A and B are shown apart, each in its own frame.
Chain A
Amino acid sequence: MTGLALFLIAMIAIFFGFPIAFTFAGVSVAVGIMVLGVDLFAFMPYRIMSTMQNTILMAVPLFIFMGIVLQKTDLAEDLLESMGKLFGGLKGGLAISTIIVGLFLAASTGVVGASVVAMGVISLPVMLKHKYDPKLATGIICAAGTLGQIVPPSIILIILGDVMGLPVGDLFTAALLPSFILVVAYLIYIIVIVNVRPNIAPPIKTEVDEPRLTMVLSSLKLIIPPLFLIVAVLGSIYTGLATPTESSALGGIGSLLLAIIYGKFKFKLLFDSALETVKVSSMVFAVLIGATAFSMVFSYSGGETIVEEFFISLPNAQWTFVLIAMLTIFILGFFIDFIEIAFIIVPILTPIALSLGLNMNWLAILIAMNLQTSFLTPPFGFSLFYLKGVAPPQIKTLDIYKGVLPFIAIQMLILGLLVCFPELFGLSRLN
């Protein structure tokens, strides 16, 4: 009961417009003290400490730093505009470029806070400059930035592997085709929508008399260096030079090197980029700290037990089990952090699924895809908060809320296909 009250109060409270991090924290303090007493908050230093010691999260400031340097030196703009031009008269070229860059980032980190914010910094200003519809632009960034959840390496797959007792390597392999299909679906959607409503994504104008070859060459000159940087970051993971987290530092250093090569480096650039990174990262981590207070009150007041009991009462037939489980995870994803869901629900689902003879890799991918959606669902989707945090003031929360709707729909469509036709994704339903 307390859990429900907590959600309702928080849901209303965030619409007053006071910073989300502190709203979560304040609601948790009020409800926590009333229901469980003030001593509950003696747990908070431990929870904060575990965020501080979670070195995987170092990717957040490091990637954001890379994004900010690329943006401040105009290298990001050059990259995206040139990529857009390469697609020629194709409408939505910029949007397609954003998805591709997002895919690269997704393949080098599993931390959504890192990729959404980096994408927001890199490509939102460019799309807005070229008169993209803010809803489309923000929707694309949230969706592309959240790809890191399903594209390996992925935190959620690591957690699911741990909770379900599956080798992480198998899950990474199983996730490849589904993530590829998801990206293709995004691209198809963009191509269709910009042709139906051309004014929401105008093509980048090229000089009329510029020969195609000259244009391609000059574009490539602008594309290759930053793209090389991103590929080098990925390469450093694949060659074992660095862990995924460390690769983000290589990205940061690489972006500074590019700035030096292009003669755009100044110490002021370094310092200003760092200061802006501090602001944005602290915004992200404040939300995480507020959310951990929230989930603390939720679980210590028995919310966890209620969710558990519901899942234990699920029907024991393959189809209904999968459908109801997916539906519930989707609905819970509106409110609860994906890590909480993975830890509360998945341990209950696992033995049931095993007894029903379901293929566990398939189930894990389903859950991961489903939880990825939870980053996008209003009002509590973290990707939406993070993007809002770095977007220029003319972008409203409502734009972002509306902008992600089509992408949520696409994810649900893919999820549905994954449930009904796992063979399309190289998976099987039964063990």
Chain B
Amino acid sequence: EMEKTYRWRLAETWPKDFPVFGYTVKSMAQRVKVMSNDRLVITIDSKNKHKAPLGIFDMVRAGQYQMGHSASYYWKGKDLNTMFFTTRPFGMTATEQYAWFYYGGGMELMQKTYQPYGLLSFPGGNTGNQMGGWFRKEINSVEDLKGLKMRIPGFAGEVISKLGASPVNIPAGELYTALERNTIDALEWVGPSLDLRMGFQKVAPFYYTGWHEPATELQFLINEKAFNTLPKDLQEILVIAMRASAYDMYAQSMHENAINLEKIHKEHPEIQIKTFPSNVMLKLQQANDELIEQFKKSDPLTKEIIESQEHYQGIARPWTRISDQTYLEISQ
């Protein structure tokens, strides 16, 4: 029994060899293999093989894969509550959110959300604060957002549409051309780490700082039945490997963002990095709060999750301000 080999398959949302995200999955599988002395071997199928980047939830649930790597907010259309375990506009920073997951009741609420589907969900790596996106024109007032055509999917799109902007669906392959030709006025992608390879810096001069995805946490999904067939030690090895790789991705995102930001400064000095004016931010926050209040009414678990997050952000933020924010202000 102790020597039995478990062969697992993992489906990821990303294409083969996708930077940062893909590396996180590979390093997790490698750690599991070494730590388990080859007793748990996980092979990875990328989007190019399974062709279902947004089918991870269903495929892991059905047991076609024991495991998946994706992002929880992709399942918003199946269950609204899944949306809150990735990030949300004006939500916690990555450090605050990790604290919430592991010490503030976040993990328990996440399992409670996924339990009805026979799934287990774990943090899968953080991108850090994402940028607000690439804009062809400057945003100086709420007026400038009216009629602004922007590729910005999901909940953030709903927030910005309350200020009169028009979220547009454009397939990834046509984004560059659409932005270049003014078919859309703006788009959000990730951050310096992954944006430069898309070439947006060539066609949009304004790069706005983030507000809508302060701490995007990816997700490891596991089929609960499959997990229960593992002996206790392999379960623990898997959990530890996921946690190590997730945190490692946060570090790697920091690194990739840093070197690519430097690249923007050096190779594309014409790019202006901007922040929305404070009245725009205020209006966005109001729109966000209204929508969140509506969500609270939809379902008791939704209310429980949001209130847990609000409560935790309320106690964690003062410390972030006193520690990191103060430090950043006093040190040059």
Check A-B contact in the complex, CB < 8 A: yes
Q: Are A167 and B199 in contact (CB under 8 A)?
A: yes
A169-B203 contact given A299-B49, A304-B49, A343-B15, CB 8 Å threshold? yes
Q: Are A158 and B173 in contact (CB under 8 A)?
A: yes
| Complex Cα–Cα for A304 and B170 (A) | 30
A166-B170 contact given A46-B55, A237-B181, CB 8 Å threshold? no
CB-nearest residue of chain B to A296 = B51
Q: Are B197 and A166 in contact (CB under 8 A)?
A: yes
| Complex Cα–Cα for A425 and B171 (A) | 30
Binds B, one of A50-58, A87-95, A225-233: A50-58
Contact for B177 among A39, A55, A153, A304, CB less than 8 A? A153
Q: Are B62 and A243 in contact (CB under 8 A)?
A: no
Interface flags, A158-175, vs B, CB<8A=1, else 0: 110111011111100000
With a cutoff of 8 Å between Cβ atoms, the chain A residues found around residue B85 in the complex are none
CB-nearest residue of chain A to B168 = A243
Q: Are A46 and B177 in contact (CB under 8 A)?
A: no
Q: Are A170 and B62 in contact (CB under 8 A)?
A: no
Q: Are A49 and B55 in contact (CB under 8 A)?
A: yes
Q: Is A411 close to B, CB under 8 A?
A: no
Q: Are A50 and B178 in contact (CB under 8 A)?
A: no
Q: Are A46 and B51 in contact (CB under 8 A)?
A: yes
Size class of B's contact patch? 20 to 34
| Main SS at interface, chain A | helix
With a cutoff of 8 Å between Cβ atoms, the chain B residues found around residue A344 in the complex are 48
Q: Is B255 close to A, CB under 8 A?
A: no
Size class of A's contact patch? 35 or more
| Chain B, range 222-242, C-beta contacts under 8 Å to A | none
Interface flags, B49-91, vs A, CB<8A=1, else 0: 1111101001100101000000000000000000000000000
With a cutoff of 8 Å between Cβ atoms, the chain B residues found around residue A389 in the complex are none
CB-nearest residue of chain B to A239 = B181
| Complex Cα–Cα for A93 and B53 (A) | 48
Contact for B197 among A39, A43, A165, CB less than 8 A? A165
| Complex Cα–Cα for A170 and B176 (A) | 11
Contact for A244 among B49, B177, B198, CB less than 8 A? B177
Q: Are A169 and B173 in contact (CB under 8 A)?
A: no
Q: Are B16 and A243 in contact (CB under 8 A)?
A: no
Interface flags, B193-221, vs A, CB<8A=1, else 0: 00011110011000000000000000000
| Complex Cα–Cα for A304 and B49 (A) | 9
| Complex Cα–Cα for A92 and B17 (A) | 48
| Complex Cα–Cα for A80 and B171 (A) | 34
Q: Are A170 and B52 in contact (CB under 8 A)?
A: no
Q: Is A421 close to B, CB under 8 A?
A: no
Contact for B16 among A153, A161, A347, CB less than 8 A? A347
CB-nearest residue of chain B to A347 = B17
| Complex Cα–Cα for A238 and B181 (A) | 6
| Complex Cα–Cα for A162 and B197 (A) | 8
Q: Are B199 and A46 in contact (CB under 8 A)?
A: no
| Complex Cα–Cα for A343 and B18 (A) | 11
Q: Told that A39-B64, A42-B62, A167-B202 touch, could you supply 6 new A-B pairs with CB distance under 8 A? A: A46-B58, A46-B59, A163-B15, A237-B177, A239-B181, A240-B178
B residues in contact (CB < 8 Å) with A? 15-17, 19, 48-53, 55, 58-59, 62, 64, 169-174, 176-178, 180-183, 196-199, 202-203
